[in-house]
């Protein structure tokens, strides 16, 4: 039961449990109306929740949107925002099952709650990485942050259309996450929303391990080779999956047509480092806010 009653009622397949995630999308913090069409802002609002469900190996079921709009925000912007959000919801079989609207005294505030489902006890957690496990990432990194930087510095015309499209309308890696969970391949997993350096630290903290990345193996996104290793390490915005797997697991080079790349290994201790041109240095978590300053 969705919109129209006081609560939504969700039935899960027997033997499944609920996954629940919540994410803010705040104007001028997570998006800028002058850099992105409203449809992209709606798409990315839902994407943030879907990406979290993917990172647990789950299946998204329903979404709840709370939206606060300033009085001067026009109806067309709202319609396009919802179009972008609902198009992505339909693509992944998610129903918008409720929410709330209010008038904001200032900027646009959107909060999305996504509910997913996973077989009981089978969600892939951040805490399963062990020394000797290999580290993998789906897709490529750094493209999102690089495109955002170009948008923010008024160089929209220099962005390759494919790169712009990937930034405005990223695909949540639901199928990849589900395949990794179903085939028992991933020992731990997280989505790269805040940047590889920060998100890898989250896995290491939860698992009580360290990690060593091989700089040369990190797959850089974007056309024209303009993506730097720095933006791949710290940029965020890519919504790919970072996961670990025991050394005896055969990890396919593509899952659901998304390339999968080995980028390092889990080690004893708590230190996270990166080897680059034969030299090893400490890798600090410098994603998201730090990178943006
Ligand atoms: Mg996440």
| Structure confidence by residue, pLDDT tens digits, 222-256 | 887 789 999 999 998 899 999 999 999 999 999 99
| Exposure class string for 27-62: b at 16+ Cβ within 10 A, else e | beeebeeebbbbbbbbbbbbbbbbbbbbbbbbbbbb
Residue 121 has which token pair?
A: 């006890």
Most distant CA pair in the chain: distance in Å? 62
Mean confidence (pLDDT) of the chain: 94
What is the value of pTM for the model shown? 0.95
82 CA from centroid of ligand 1 (Å): 23
Q: What is the mean pLDDT of residues 46-50?
A: 98
Whether 292 has a pLDDT exceeding 80, the answer reads no
48 CA from centroid of ligand 1 (Å): 8
110 CA from centroid of ligand 1 (Å): 17
Q: What angle do CA 112, 118, 122 make, to 5 degrees?
A: 130
Least confident among 109-123, 189-203, 274-288: 274-288
Q: What is the mean pLDDT of residues 86-105?
A: 96
Q: What is the mean pLDDT of residues 104-121?
A: 97
Q: Which residue has the higher pLDDT, 61 or 291?
A: 61
Q: What is the pLDDT of residues 190-215, one digit of tens each?
A: 999 999 999 999 999 999 999 999 99
- Confidence class of residue 278 from pLDDT cuts 50, 70 and 90? very high
Whole-angstrom CA distances from 13 to 1, 93, 119, 173, 176 are 15, 15, 9, 22, 21
60 CA from centroid of ligand 1 (Å): 14
Residues 34, 41: Cα–Cα separation, whole Å? 11
């Amino acid at each position: 039961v969705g919109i129209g009653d006081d609560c939504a009622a969700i039935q899960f397949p027997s033997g499944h449990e609920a996954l629940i995630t919540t994410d803010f999308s705040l104007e001028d913090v997570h998006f800028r109306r002058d850099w992105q069409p409203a449809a992209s802002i709606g798409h990315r609002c839902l994407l943030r929740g879907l990406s979290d469900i993917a990172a647990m190996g789950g299946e998204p079921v329903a979404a709840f949107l709370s939206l606060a709009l300033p009085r001067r925000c026009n109806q067309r912007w709202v319609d396009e925002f919802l179009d972008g959000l609902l198009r992505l919801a339909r693509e992944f079989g998610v129903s918008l099952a409720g929410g709330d609207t209010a008038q904001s005294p200032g900027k646009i505030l959107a909060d999305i709650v996504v509910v997913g489902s996973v077989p009981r006890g089978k969600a892939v957690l951040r805490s399963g990485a062990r020394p000797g496990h290999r580290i993998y990432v789906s897709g490529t990194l750094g493209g999102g942050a690089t495109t955002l930087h170009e948008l923010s510095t008024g160089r929209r015309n220099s962005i390759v259309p494919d790169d712009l499209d990937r930034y405005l309308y990223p695909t949540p890696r639901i199928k990849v996450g589900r395949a990794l969970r179903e085939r028992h391949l991933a020992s731990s997993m997280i989505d790269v929303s805040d940047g590889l350096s920060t998100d890898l630290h989250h896995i290491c903290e939860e698992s009580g391990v360290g990690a060593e990345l091989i700089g040369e193996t990190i797959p850089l996104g974007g056309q024209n080779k303009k993506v730097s290793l720095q933006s791949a390490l710290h940029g965020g915005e890519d919504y790919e999956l970072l996961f670990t797997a025991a050394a005896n697991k055969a990890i396919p080079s593509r899952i659901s047509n998304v390339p999968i790349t080995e980028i390092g290994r889990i080690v004893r201790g708590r230190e996270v480092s990166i080897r680059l041109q034969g030299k090893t240095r400490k890798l600090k978590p410098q994603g998201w806010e730090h990178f943006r300053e």
